[in-house]
Chain A
Amino acid sequence: MITRPSFSQEVANLLYAAEGSPLLVCMQCGTCSSTCPAAPFMDHSPRAIIAMIAADLKEEVLASNAFWYCASCYSCTVRCPRGINIADMMYGLKRYSLWRNQYPQGLIGPDFSRRFARMIVRTGKSFEPALAPAFIFHAGLRGLLGEMRTALALFLKGRLPLIPSRVKRAKNFRRMLSRIIPLARPA
């Protein structure tokens, strides 16, 4: 007889290897939300997301933009008085929604993650000038001008290369990746 796991158990299974305490020891103090620099952009704070998982509100959690706005700064994780690895939870929820193709339309995060992964597989390095154009118009004209100003400042400081570079022996790197990602033969 198979007992169906609840959504909170599904998330616990997803995070079975994560360091730190299980999500359900959260005491809802809100330290994660008050320390999170991305919280103002989220529709639900990290504290609320944990409470929603504990309440098995699967559809509401998957419809949230919160984990896509997580910048992985780990402030929440280092400050959680219960020792919960909240940043890992955010990564886990990204994986969960990507594997099931279940995420809100119009978010940059899922598309960006895929483009980034493809670029790393191809060249072994991130090259921002190739990644940015697909998303540069998302924030409107003001956002575009802001991005251009940042890009110019980076360029003048020599921090924005115009020619993409690759890791040495990119083929070996791809072979290494094929050990992690299940392929029939080395790439």
Chain B
Amino acid sequence: MSPRKKLLIVDDDPDFVEAIASILQTADYETEAAYNPKDGLAALQSKHYDLLLLDIMMGRGAEGIMIARKLRKDPRLSQIPVLIITGIREQIAFLFPGQAVHPHFVPVDELVEKPVEPELLLEKVRTLLEAAEARKAPERKRGAA
């Protein structure tokens, strides 16, 4: 049996973090949280996580993007699957009506909007983790050969 997957939530809203952490814990995921972009990035650089759940609007503005851009540039972190969970559509729709929101800042990411349905959240997390495992498998085989 594979070890429990470790997930990091970077979001400044404690209510939301509490809600999604409890959903993820019921599905036997291990969760940690960072409440500002600086702590989030520090956690990503110092520990190993299997998946990142990322909010966009934090601190001075759309700082989730800052984290995503840094992840993209870091060869060690660029393969972490990222699930962007954001309520940004309201802001975007107001400023840029009709524009698509999903930014695709990292090679592997998915976007769900707040408020998120528990089933949808778990499904997206499972899909992203399975895809990450599938990507690792050929690498492991190459390493063994």
Tell me the count of chain B residues lying within 8 A, CB to CB, of chain A.
Answer: 38
Please determine whether B36 and A184 come into contact, CB atoms closer than 8 angstroms: no
For residue B112, CB closer than 8 A to chain A, the reply is: no
For residue A118, CB closer than 8 A to chain B, the reply is: yes
Closest to B32 in A: A2
Q: Which residues of A contact B100 (CB under 8 A)?
A: 183-185
Pick from A8-16, A33-41, A137-145, A157-165 the stretch touching chain B. A8-16
Q: Which residues of B contact A183 (CB under 8 A)?
A: 92, 96, 99-101, 103
Please determine whether B92 and A181 come into contact, CB atoms closer than 8 angstroms: yes
CB distance from B124 to the nearest CB of A (A): 18
Tell me the count of chain A residues lying within 8 A, CB to CB, of chain B.
Answer: 25
Please determine whether B99 and A10 come into contact, CB atoms closer than 8 angstroms: no
For residue B56, CB closer than 8 A to chain A, the reply is: yes
* A-B CB proximity, top 6 nearest: A184-B100, A13-B36, A182-B103, A16-B36, A13-B35, A2-B33
Offer 23 A-B interface pairs, CB within 8 angstroms, sorted by A. Answer: A2-B17, A2-B21, A2-B32, A4-B17, A9-B35, A13-B35, A13-B39, A13-B59, A14-B58, A16-B38, A17-B59, A95-B60, A100-B13, A117-B94, A181-B96, A182-B56, A182-B88, A182-B101, A183-B92, A183-B99, A184-B100, A184-B102, A184-B103
